[in-house]
Amino acid sequence: QAFLFQGLPPDLETFASLKRTFFCLFYLLVMPTFWDIPGMQPGVITGDTAKALLKHAKDTGYVIPAINCSSSGTVNSCLEAATTMGKPVIIQFSEDGSASFVGKGLPNEHGVKAASILGAVAAAHYVRNVSPAYGIPVLVNTDLCAKTSLAWLDGMLEADEGFFKAHGEPLFSSHLVEDGAEYLKKMAPLNIIGDLGDYSCVKTVGNDTQWAYYDKRDWELTMVGLVKEAFTNPSLGA
């Protein structure tokens, strides 16, 4: 049997596989990349641009890891890794990680959370100043804020509001809050992505809030829905 092209396999199953591979390669070449999203730029992105990036990741099937950081060194390592991969990343700060960013020696009393607020705000400004040099888009997210630590979120939202008045966008890209639908009303005018969830594993012991894992439901346009099982749970990150 003669074939039009030399080396074309007579095995129809193999030929079909090659056709699928060719189609996939063609699709990857012609489909829009995240750099084609309006407003996309190196450094911290917020609002509609951040939402569009999350949707692009979900629609095209790639993962944007959310990595907890507690120092400038861990931030730098995450940015360097993301640059090496040529992919966007979510830099994330927990309540304790935020306090660590400015040093554990500062007061951080329950109901005030001064060190956690200062650390989160300082960390967000640090990421904003440094990340453009790494040449990749970055979302700045805060990890789970439990009901017992709302003072931390209130302080960050105050910083978001001040930054928004000065620059037309929030300081942070998104905030993750436990069962705080009322906070969405505060975030919406500032164009902040609000992530809500049912965290059945959250428990409070005295003034300490502890949690073990994220809810695995596929949330629309949230951090949780985009971090697949192959990645370490962000709440257990560095």
Instruction: For residue 96, count other CB atoms closer than 10 A to its CB.
Output: 18
Tell me, rounded to whole angstroms, the distance of Cα 191 from its chain centroid.
Answer: 15
Those residues whose C-beta lies under 8 Å from the C-beta of residue 40, and which sit 6 or more positions away, are 34, 49, 52, 53, 137
Q: Transcribe 157-218 into DSSP letters.
A: HHHHHHHHHHHSS-SSSEEEEET-HHHHHHHGGGTPEEEEE--TT-EEETTEEE------S-
DSSP structural state of residue 10: S
Catalytic residue status for 179: no
Q: What single letter denotes the amino acid at residue 216?
A: K
Angle 144-148-150 from CA coordinates, rounded to 5°: 65
From the centroid of its chain, how far is CA 134? 17
Q: Which of 59, 96, 143, 215 is catalytic?
A: 143
Residues contacting 85, CB < 8 A, separation 6+: none
Cα 201 to Cα 220: distance, rounded to the nearest angstrom: 21
Catalytic residues: 143
